[in-house]
Homo-oligomer: A and B are copies of this chain.
Amino acid sequence: MPFSHLTHLSCTKCGKTYDPAALLNVCKEPGCGGSLFAEYDLPRLSREDTASRDRTIWRWHELMPARTPEDIITLGEGGTPLLHARRLGARLSLPDVWIKEEAGNPTGSFKARGLGAAVTMAKALGAKAIALPTAGNAGGAAAAYAAKAGLPCHVFMPRDTPKVFRLECEAYGAKVTLVDGLIDDCGRIVAQRKEAEGWFDVSTLKEPYRVEGKKTMGYELAEQFGWTLPDVIIYPTGGGTGLIGMWKAFDEMERLGWIGAKRPRMISVQAEGCAPIPKAFAEGKDVSVRFENAHTYASGLRVPKAYADYLVLKILRESKGEAVTITDDEMRRGVNELASSEGLYAAPEGGAAWEAVKKLLAAQKLQPTERVVVFDTGTGYKYID
Contact = CB atoms under 8 A, between A and B. Distances in A.
B104 A76 contact: yes
B79 A74 contact: no
Interface string A322-346: 0000000000000110011111110
A147 B343 contact: yes
A254 B343 CA distance: 35
Contacts of A384: 164, 167-168, 171, 382
B145 A107 contact: no
Nearest to A75: B343
B164 A385 contact: yes
Interface stretch (A2-10, A49-57, A269-277): A49-57
A106 B106 contact: no
Interface in A147-176: 147-148, 150, 163-164, 167-168, 171-173
Nearest to A52: B51
B343 A144 contact: yes
Interface size class of A (residues with CB under 8 A): 35 or more
Given A81-B56, A168-B384, A336-B171, A76 B101 contact: yes
A87 interface: yes
A113 to B, nearest CB: 13
A125 interface: no
A52 B51 CA distance: 5
A164 B381 contact: yes
Nearest to A143: B343
A36 B191 CA distance: 62
Interface string A74-115: 111001111100010000000000000101111110000000
